Amino acid sequence: MDVQSVTAALKYTKARPATEAIPQLDEAASGLKSMAMDFAETMQQGESAAMSAMSSDADPHALVLALAQTELAVETAVTVRNKVVEAYQEILRMPV
């Protein structure tokens, strides 16, 4: 066996832990997933309230409440998206 291949294998073994998932990032990803699921659920509730209001089965107060929650969720999602885009653009402006 060549000495260089043994050295390469040892260096790979030492570097392997650096490629493992970081638990904190897994928690952040699960948090983002839950936020996306909550957003989708809020949108679905608003849509169902609007559909039932069109068929005159719903309370007008419930419709207004569902639409306000939907509007707030959309505004929050747009704000988060804008902040992510702004951060990405700032990273692109950094000198290498």
Q: What is the pLDDT of residue 31?
A: 80
pLDDT band at 78 (very low <50, low <70, confident <90, very high): very high
The domain spans of the chain are 28-93
The whole model's pTM is what? 0.61
pLDDT at 4 > cutoff 90:
no
Cα three-residue angle 59-57-62, rounded to 5 degrees: 25
